[in-house]
């Protein structure tokens, strides 16, 4: 497991993070040296983007008095963990801070790509992946699905109505799994939403979660 600190926040990266990220980037199709290089750009861009997203959460946690939040990157993405109880208002802002950070980074990269058009395949790949992850997936992350940030915002907003929250989350996860399979043709994205749906079903029926996904 890779461990380091950034801006005073401890970070741990599980080895499954690299495998799942590579699979989402099309590792099974990287059969040439160029394909492996493009895959490496995807994995590196995803690592930077997800870490940046989690830093958005942890900086907001620190703003609300959490002394030492931690960041964990693993198979399903990332997780920012704090040590103090949060009010509903704080939880909403902390959950929103990650996607907001990603959207801001994606917009900056988009503006940079417009101002300085990439001069090589690899530069173009870097710009396009950073824009895709930080804009497209930040918007996906705002969907009302637990454990995505949109699901956490919904939980805080509808505090005390846990069953309704899980029903909405389950319905959206199932819909996204079907959409990812029929419209995007992405097996691994479909699998991620299917696992989210299963975890929500387990919570709704009082069974333990699988615990494999972050946000």
Residue 151 burial (C-beta neighbours within 10 Å; 0-12, 13-18, 19+): buried
Model confidence pLDDT, tens digit, residues 56-87: 999 999 999 998 899 999 886 899 999 888 89
Taking the mean position of all CA atoms in its chain, how far away is CA 190? 15
Stretch 176-183: mean pLDDT, rounded? 94
Position of tokens 């959409």? 179
pTM for this entry: 0.88
Model confidence pLDDT, tens digit, residues 198-209: 999 999 998 766
Cα distance from N-terminal residue to C-terminal residue, the chain: 19
57 Cβ contact list (under 8 Å, min separation 6) = 69, 80, 94, 95, 97, 98
CA dihedral 14, 16, 21, 24 (to 10 degrees): -160
Model confidence pLDDT, tens digit, residues 128-138: 999 999 999 99
Q: What is the pLDDT of residue 52?
A: 97
CB 180 within 8 A of CB 186: yes
127 Cβ contact list (under 8 Å, min separation 6) = 109, 112, 113, 118
Q: What is the pLDDT of residue 211?
A: 54
Position of tokens 């801006």? 7
Model confidence pLDDT, tens digit, residues 100-120: 999 999 999 999 999 988 788
Position of tokens 């109505």? 161
């Amino acid at each position: 497991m890779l461990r380091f600190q950034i801006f005073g926040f401890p970070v741990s990266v599980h080895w499954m993070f690299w495998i799942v990220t590579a699979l989402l980037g099309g590792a099974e199709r990287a059969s040439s040296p160029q394909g492996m290089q493009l895959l490496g750009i995807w994995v590196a861009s995803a690592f930077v983007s997800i870490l940046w997203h989690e830093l958005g959460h942890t900086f907001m946690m620190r703003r609300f008095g959490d002394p030492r939040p931690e960041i964990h990157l693993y198979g399903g993405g990332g997780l920012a963990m704090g040590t103090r109880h949060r009010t509903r208002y704080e939880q909403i802002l902390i959950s929103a801070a990650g996607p907001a950070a990603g959207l801001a980074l994606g917009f900056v990269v988009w503006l940079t790509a417009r101002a300085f058009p990439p001069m090589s395949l690899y530069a173009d790949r870097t710009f396009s992946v950073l824009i895709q992850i930080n804009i497209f997936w930040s918007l996906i992350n705002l969907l009302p699905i637990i454990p995505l940030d949109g699901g956490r915002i919904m939980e805080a907003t509808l505090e005390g109505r846990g069953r309704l929250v899980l029903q909405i989350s389950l319905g959206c996860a199932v819909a996204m799994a079907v959409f990812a399979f029929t419209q995007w043709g992405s097996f691994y994205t479909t699998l991620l939403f299917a696992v989210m749906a299963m975890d929500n079903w387990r919570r709704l029926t009082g069974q333990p979660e699988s615990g494999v996904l972050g946000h």
